[in-house]
Amino acid sequence: MTAKRLRVFALLAISMVFLLAWTFPIIWSVMNSLKTDPDVLAYPPKLVFAPTLDAYRDVLFGSGSILPNLLSSAIISVGTTIVTMLMAVPAAYALARLRFRGKKFAGFYVLATQMLPPVGIIIPYFLVLRNIGWIDTYQGIILIYLSFSLPFAIWLLVSYFEDIPFEMEEAAYLDGASRLKTLWRIIIPQVRGGIAVTVVFVFLNAWNEFLFAVVLSGNTVRPVTVAMFNFVSVEQTLWAKLAAVSVLAMLPVVVLGVVAQKHIVKGLTVGAVKGGGRR
């Protein structure tokens, strides 16, 4: 066997180890969600068992159904994504394409807000929302999620706007197009991939967020990430149901990733094939 083949086999073996390490928690959760609680707690762990959907039936249609929690997560995530993108696209365009006083400071401020530890700002957020009566409301949680999703989206989109050649924009001005029309007809179609990538990441961050949700939510608005703890108590942990909820919480993320896969790949590679748009 040649040295080249040995290197290929070594790389494949290392890749398989990393792939197994990454997928093992998911596979283990799916297996446990199809077991009964005695089978989950069996030692040594049972790899061969009679699969059952009892855990899924209980968490979806039982007395403690998580369907309202899934709906809350969907409303919060979609609402956060829509509001974030409506504000982030023009803000990122302005930072990338316009010249104005304080531009560097604005860019630094957007980046600096990402460095704040969430645990350090959660108490001021809680006090503000409590004073205006927005604790345990959709608008309150979406407003707080904007504080970290909006800077992230702006920071991500700026690089895509910067990669568009200025000549393309100037040609549109020569043809009589306004700045708004140029943004809508010329610029945004060029950064569709970047916008798709940003939408996916903003949605995922909102869907998976836990720290703010557990403090700012209540009995009315309770995302699924918080509702999972209904199956954990001092007396016992309902592992099969907890695994079933975990799998159900992962499904929207997996579906979104598969649907947006083409745009994600295009968005991640667009920066490598463009360039020269910065001034």
Predicted confidence at residue 101, as pLDDT, reads 84
Is 22 exposed, middle or buried (CB count within 10 Å of its CB: 0-12, 13-18, 19+)?
Answer: exposed
- What is the spatial distance between Cα 184 and Cα 42, in angstroms, rounded to a whole number? 59
Q: In this structure, how many other beta carbons lie within 10 angstroms of the beta carbon of residue 227? A: 22
Say which DSSP state 195 is in: H
CB atoms within 10 A of CB 165: 14
User: How does pLDDT run across 144-197, given as a tens digit for each residue?
Assistant: 999 889 999 998 898 888 888 888 888 888 888 888 888 888 888 888 888 988
Three-class DSSP category at 232: strand
The alpha-helical segments, DSSP class H, found in 163-238 are 166-174, 179-182, 188-190, 192-208, 211-216, 224-227
Length of the chain counted residue by residue: 279
Cβ neighbours for 33, distance < 8 A, ≥ 6 positions apart: 55, 56, 240, 243, 244, 246, 247
What's the pLDDT score for residue 196? 87
In this predicted structure, what is the pLDDT of residue 273?
46
| Residue 266: per-residue pLDDT | 66
* Kind plus residue range of the DSSP H or E element containing 268: helix 261-273
Please give the Cα distance from 84 to 110 (Å, whole number). 14
Per-residue pLDDT of the chain (279 residues; tens, 9 = 90+): 677 788 888 889 898 898 888 889 899 999 999 998 889 888 888 888 899 999 999 999 988 899 999 999 999 999 999 999 999 999 999 988 888 888 888 888 877 777 778 888 888 899 999 999 999 999 999 999 998 899 999 988 988 888 888 888 888 888 888 888 888 888 888 888 889 889 989 999 999 999 999 999 888 899 999 998 888 887 788 899 999 999 999 998 888 888 877 777 766 665 544 544 555
Query: How many beta carbons lie within 10 A of that of residue 48, not counting itself?
Result: 4
pLDDT, residue 169, reads 80
